[in-house]
Structure 1
C-alpha cells in the first residue's frame, strides 16, 4: 500500500510503501537509521541487518544524501520522535542516486544557501517555514469565506500607481506605459462597490532599493475592501483576522513551530482586541524612550516601530497618521483634517508593520482635490473617480504583507526565508 508520511498515523502496524528522499543517515555495523522526507513530512526509517536481506542492508548503508527511493516497512509508534512514528524498513528500492549534493549538514553561508535556494527548500527548517506560510494562506481563505467576502483578482499590470510612481517597475504595454502593481487596492475598491466585501491575494512589486531584513522586491499581499465599513469597523476585521490566522497556525503547525524553536507562549496571547495608540501618543512615547530625532509629521522607521512594539506584548495599532505622509485616497479625520483615518498594525518582537489600512475618501470633490495635491492625473484616475460619482458609500480596507506575517509567526529573522524564491535588491537567481 502506497501512502505518504503524513498518513502513517492511520496505518500503525501495517506494511506500507512510501516514495521518499534521503535527508540524512547514520549507521553502525548492525543497524541503519535513515532520515526520510517526502514533502508531507519527515520520518525515521530503521533498517536492522538481522531482519532484512543482506543486499537491502548493503543498499541502505550506501545511500547518499537526497537519493530518491521507495521504502517498504511497518509503521510503529515511537514516543521519542517528535513526529510520534517510525518505519521499520524491510526493503529499499533506489529510484535515482544523488551524488555530491551541495548542501551538506555542515554550516553554509547565507549567500551560498540563497544561490542554492532551489535545493535549500528541502531542508527541515525551510520546510517548516513554508508549511506555516501555507497554513496562513489556507486560514486566510477560510476566514474571509466564512465572513462573506468574495475573492476578486486585480490586474498585475496597471496604467497608474496607487501610491505614487517612485517605487514602481516600469514597462511598455505595446505603445503605452505600464507598471507592475504595487497594490491591488484601487481595483478592490471598484470590486467592493459591486460585491460589498471582497479580498484579493496576489503578488505585488516595489522597486525600493532597500536591503533590510523586512524588505522584498516581490511579495504577496492580502487586500480586503469593504463597502459601508468605516475605519472602526475595519480595525475589528483586522484584529479578528490576524488572531484567527495565528490560532490556526498554533493548532495545525505544532511540529513546524517546534522545529523552528518558536516560543509559542507569545503567540498564544494573540487574541482580539489589540491595543491602540495614536500617532501623537506614539511620538510622545518615542521621545520618552530617547528618540529625540523623530518629530511630528515624520514617518516611522524600523527602529521606531520596534521601540513602540516593545511597550506591548500584542500587535498594536498606530492610528491617525499625518495626512501629508499618507497616500491620497485616505479619509481625513472629521475633527482633525491634518490627520487621516488610518492605522498601521505593528507586530510584536521587532517584526514591524504587517498591515496598513484606512477608511477611503468617498466624496468626489475631496478626492479630486487630493489628486491635485499629489500632482496626479485626473485622466489616469477617471475610472477611480467614477466610483464616487455613481452610488458612492463610506468604505474601508487594508493590506497585509504575507511574508512579514510569516516571519513574525514562525519567528525567523529575515523575510528572505518566508517566500519560496525571494527577489532581493541584488538577487533574481534562481
Structure 2
C-alpha cells in the first residue's frame, strides 16, 4: 500500500510504501536511522541489520542526503518522536542518488541559505513555516466566506497609485505608463459598492529601499472592504479575523509549532477584545518610555511600535492618527478634524504593524478637496470619485500583511523566511 507520511498513522502496524527523500541519517553499528520526508511531513525509518538483507542494510548506510527513495516497512508507534510514529524499514529502492547536496546539517549563513532558497525550503523548519502559512491562508478564506464576503481580484497592473508613486515599480504598458500595484484597496471599494462585503488576496509591490527584518519588496495582502460598515464595526471584524486564524493554527499545526519551538501560551492569549489606545496616548507612552524626541504628527517606526507592544500581551490597536501622515481617502473624525478614523494593529513580541485600516471618506465635496490637496489627477482617479457621486455610503476596510502575520505566529525573526521565494532590496534570485 502506497501512502504518505501524514497518512501513515492510519496504517498503524501495517506495511506501507512511502515515496521520500533522505533528509539525514545516522547509524550505530547494527541499526541505521533514516530521517525521511515526503512533503507532507517527516518520519524516522529504522533499519535493523538482523531484520533485512545484507544488501539493504549496506544500502541504508550508504544513502546520500536528499536522494529520492521508495521505502517499504511497518508503521509503529514511537512515543519519543514529536510525530508519534516511525517506520520499521524492510526494503529500500533508490529512485535517484543525490551527491554533494550543498545544505549540510552544519550551520550555514543567511546569505548562503538565501542563495539556495530553492533547496532550503526542504528543511524541517522551513517546511513548518510554509505549512503554517498555508493554514493561515486556508483559515482566511474560511473566515471571510462564512462572514458573507465575496472574493474579488483587483488588477496588479495599474495606471495610478493608491498612495503616491514614490514607492511604486514603473513599467511600460504598450504605449502607456503603468505601475505594479501597491494595494488593491481602491478597486475593492468599487467592488464593495457592487457586492457589499468583499476581500482580495494577492501580491503587492513596494519599491521601498528598506533592509529591515519586517520588509519585503513583494508580499501578499488580504484586503477586505465593507459597505455600510463603521470604523468601530471594522475593528470588531479585524479582531475576530485575527483570533480566528491564530486559533486555526493552534488547532491544525501543533507539530509545526513544536518544530519551531514556538511559545504557544502567547498565542493562546490572543482573544478579543484587543486593547485600544489613541495616537495621542501612544505619544505619551513613548515619552514615558524614553522616546523624548518623538513629536505629535510624526509616524511611528519599528522601535516605537515595539515599545508600545511591550505594554500589552495581545495585539493592540493604535487609533486616530494625524490626518497629515495618513492616506488621502481616510475619513476625518467628526469631532476632531486633525485626526482620522483609522487604526493600526500592532502585533505583540516586537513584530510590528500587521493591519492598517480606516473608515473611507464618503462625502463627495471632501474627497474633491483631498484630490486638490494631494494633486491627484481626475483623469487617473475619476473612476474612484464616481464612487462618491453615485450612491455614496459609509464604508470601511483594512489590509493585513500575510508575511508579517506568519512571522509573528511562527515566531521567526525575519520575514524572508515566511514567503517561499522572497524578494528583498538586493535579492531577485532564485
Q: Distance in 2 between matches of 1:42 and 1:218?
A: 30
Contact 1:305/1:350, CA 8 A, preserved across alignment: yes
Q: Distance in 2 between matches of 1:306 and 1:372?
A: 36
Q: Distance in 1 between matches of 2:312 and 2:272?
A: 14
Q: Distance in 2 between matches of 1:293 and 1:414?
A: 28
Specify the alignment match of 2:248 in structure 1: 248
Say if 2:95 is the partner of 1:95: yes
Specify the alignment match of 1:14 in structure 2: 14
Specify the alignment match of 2:38 in structure 1: 38
Residue 47 of structure 1 deviates from its aligned partner by 0.6
Residue 103 of structure 1 deviates from its aligned partner by 0.2
Specify the alignment match of 1:160 in structure 2: 160
Deviations 1:130-188 (A, max 9, x none): 11101100000000011100000000000100011110000010111100000000000
3-state SS of the aligned residue for 2:19? Answer: strand
Specify the alignment match of 2:349 in structure 1: 349
Q: Distance in 2 between matches of 1:373 and 1:322?
A: 16
Residue 322 of structure 1 deviates from its aligned partner by 0.3
Specify the alignment match of 2:64 in structure 1: 64
Residue 28 of structure 1 deviates from its aligned partner by 2.3
Residue 195 of structure 1 deviates from its aligned partner by 0.6
Deviations 1:163-221 (A, max 9, x none): 11110000010111100000000000001001100000000000000000000000000
Residue 252 of structure 1 deviates from its aligned partner by 0.6
Specify the alignment match of 1:426 in structure 2: 426
Q: Distance in 2 between matches of 1:282 and 1:332?
A: 19
Residue 371 of structure 1 deviates from its aligned partner by 1.2
Contact 1:368/1:378, CA 8 A, preserved across alignment: no
3-state SS of the aligned residue for 1:99? Answer: coil
Residue 390 of structure 1 deviates from its aligned partner by 1.0
Give ranges in structure 2 of 5+ residues lacking alignment: none
Q: Distance in 1 between matches of 2:327 and 2:314?
A: 27
3-state SS of the aligned residue for 2:72? Answer: strand
Q: What is the count of residue pairs matched by the alignment?
A: 430
Equivalent positions of 1:211-230 (< 5 A) are 211-230=211-230
Equivalent positions of 1:292-303 (< 5 A) are 292-303=292-303
Q: Distance in 1 between matches of 2:99 and 2:226?
A: 54
Q: Post-superposition, which runs of at least 4 consecutive aligned residues in structure 1 deviate over 2 A?
A: none
Q: Distance in 2 between matches of 1:361 and 1:158?
A: 22
Say if 2:203 is the partner of 1:200: no
The two structures have a TM-score, normalised by structure 2, of 1.00
Equivalent positions of 1:100-111 (< 5 A) are 100-111=100-111
Specify the alignment match of 1:132 in structure 2: 132
Residue 29 of structure 1 deviates from its aligned partner by 2.2
Q: Distance in 2 between matches of 1:44 and 1:371?
A: 63
Say if 2:278 is the partner of 1:267: no
Q: Distance in 1 between matches of 2:382 and 2:286?
A: 41
Contact 1:345/1:354, CA 8 A, preserved across alignment: yes
Q: Distance in 2 between matches of 1:369 and 1:9?
A: 64
Specify the alignment match of 1:239 in structure 2: 239
Specify the alignment match of 2:326 in structure 1: 326
Contact 1:219/1:403, CA 8 A, preserved across alignment: yes
Specify the alignment match of 1:78 in structure 2: 78
Q: Distance in 2 between matches of 1:93 and 1:365?
A: 73
Q: Distance in 1 between matches of 2:296 and 2:29?
A: 71
Q: Distance in 1 between matches of 2:327 and 2:427?
A: 29
Deviations 1:49-98 (A, max 9, x none): 11111111111111000000000000001111110000001100000000
Q: Distance in 1 between matches of 2:138 and 2:293?
A: 42
Contact 1:364/1:385, CA 8 A, preserved across alignment: yes
Residue 344 of structure 1 deviates from its aligned partner by 0.2
Specify the alignment match of 1:414 in structure 2: 414
Q: Distance in 2 between matches of 1:236 and 1:144?
A: 14
Q: Distance in 1 between matches of 2:374 and 2:292?
A: 29
Specify the alignment match of 2:289 in structure 1: 289
Q: Distance in 1 between matches of 2:338 and 2:249?
A: 39
Say if 2:301 is the partner of 1:315: no
Specify the alignment match of 2:370 in structure 1: 370
Give ranges in structure 1 of 5+ residues lacking alignment: none
Q: Distance in 1 between matches of 2:311 and 2:134?
A: 30
3-state SS of the aligned residue for 2:299? Answer: coil
Residue 16 of structure 1 deviates from its aligned partner by 0.4
Q: Distance in 2 between matches of 1:162 and 1:49?
A: 66
Specify the alignment match of 1:146 in structure 2: 146
Two-structure CA RMSD over aligned residues (Å): 0.5
